[in-house]
């Protein structure tokens, strides 16, 4: 079966392995997995640092009331989730092929 580009086997943009069904300029599944793994590692580290900073800020700046502490915990969790998703997507786009 021909690939979407009309060729039988197309080389991977990174490693050069010929994969059937791959479009021109795309990565093979192994290279894509490696790139995703590096992006996950970077996203984890940056999101943990951002979460630590927001947690320290919330601990020092919020009053010691129970409701304020609950909002602080929610802010820390939301910070981790949002920063991780954003950094992962940016890393996928900007990491070298």
Residue 16 lies in a domain: no
Residue 73 lies in a domain: yes
Residue 1 lies in a domain: no
Please give the pLDDT value at position 2: 54
Please give the pLDDT value at position 26: 85
**Which backbone phi and psi does 22 adopt, to 5 degrees?**
-90, 140
Residue 20 lies in a domain: no
Please give the pLDDT value at position 12: 81
What is the number of domains present in the chain? Answer: 1
> Which has more confidence, 11 or 37?
37
Summarize pLDDT for 26-58 with one digit per residue, the tens: 888 888 899 999 999 999 999 999 999 999 999
68 contact partners, CB below 8 Å, separation of at least 6: 62
Rounded to the nearest 10°, the torsion over CA 53, 57, 59, 60 is 140
Range of the domain at 51: 29-94
Residue 14 lies in a domain: no
This prediction has a pTM of: 0.78
């Amino acid at each position: 079966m021909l690939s979407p580009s009309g060729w039988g086997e197309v080389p991977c943009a990174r490693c050069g392995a010929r994969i059937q069904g791959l479009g021109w300029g795309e990565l093979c599944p192994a290279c894509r997995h490696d790139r995703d793994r590096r992006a996950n590692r970077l996203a984890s580290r940056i999101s943990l640092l951002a979460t630590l900073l927001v947690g320290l800020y919330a601990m020092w700046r919020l009053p010691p009331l129970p409701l304020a502490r609950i909002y602080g915990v929610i802010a820390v969790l939301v910070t981790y989730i949002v920063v991780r998703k954003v950094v992962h997507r940016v890393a996928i786009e900007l990491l070298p092929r």
